[in-house]
Amino acid sequence: MERRKQGLVPYLKKIHLFSHLNEPSIEQLALWMNIRTMRKGSHVFFKNDPMLQLFFIVQGKVKIYEMDVSGREQIINILKEGEMFPHRGMFEEHDYPANAIIYEEAQILTISKDEFSNMLLQFPSIAIEMLKMQNKLIDDLHIRLNEKMMHDAREQIIKLLLRLTQSHGVDLGNKHYKLTTAFTNQELANMIGTSRETISRTLTNFKKKKFIYESDDGHLVIDFHLIHDEVLY
């Protein structure tokens, strides 16, 4: 294996989809991969661009979003190290289903759709891991839809914060989770389709009740127990 491709092996080990593979298998995957370093604010792709490649995040974060009819951003997900994107359309002639922009400076592994299909044929276990991932995504979508239909804005914000403790939180002990990303109020609003003012008003109330507070570096810390008890599941 050429030295440049050999250098991709440590990066591939960080990807959840490949974590079950042994060293020789990882080395084989490296032959199909390339790596890019991208600055914050640069687009990986735009919605409706032809889907030619798939991407795996080695370092940094990527925001997946769409624009609604009024021109307001709707955040679908903030992806982090170890995750792949997009999550659909990779097995047929398809355009990218949403926009992807670098949220924090990132290193991203890339593979063409054709090579990805060949990879799955050679390593069926990866296809099984993909099915598990897709099931989790479907479950998450169902949960979000249920929250939108069955809960008011305040409860949706609570549930959003609880989700973020799992996807972007570090346990500080005693069920206090510090979010590793300093989300703005507007970004939180865009995640659940509400207004920045509603987020601001609700978070101020939560701070008064000691449900949340800000760390010295401006990141939100969430008391999981207190805020969890505020909403019935």
Describe the crossing of helices 153-168 and 124-150 by its angle, rounded to 10 degrees. 160
Residue 87, classed as helix, strand or coil, is coil
Q: What percentage of the chain reaches a pLDDT higher than 70?
A: 98
Residue 93 has pLDDT above 60, yes or no: yes
Residue 222, classed as helix, strand or coil, is strand
In the chain, where the domains are located:
3-147, 151-228
pTM for the whole structure: 0.87
What is the rounded CA–CA span in Å between residue 59 and residue 79? 10
What is the rounded CA–CA span in Å between residue 122 and residue 229? 48
pLDDT score for 54: 97
Note the pLDDT tens digit of each residue in 23-59.
Answer: 999 999 999 999 999 999 999 999 999 999 999 999 9
Average pLDDT, the chain: 92
Nearest CA to 104 among 57, 65, 55? 57
Pick the CATH number of 151-228 from 3.10.690.10, 1.10.10.10, 3.90.550.10, 3.40.50.10800: 1.10.10.10
CA-CA-CA-CA torsion sign (150, 151, 157, 163): negative
Stated as kind and residue range, the H or E segment containing 106 is: strand 99-112
The CATH architecture of the domain made up of 3-147 is Sandwich (2.60)
Note the pLDDT tens digit of each residue in 189-203.
Answer: 999 999 999 999 999
Note the pLDDT tens digit of each residue in 136-175.
Answer: 888 888 888 888 878 899 999 999 999 999 999 999 998 8
Nearest CA to 224 among 166, 183, 180? 166
State both tokens at 145.
């839809």
Residue 233 has pLDDT above 60, yes or no: no
Pairing status of strand 53-67 against strand 99-112: antiparallel
Describe the crossing of helices 196-208 and 153-168 by its angle, rounded to 10 degrees. 80
Residue 73 has pLDDT above 70, yes or no: yes
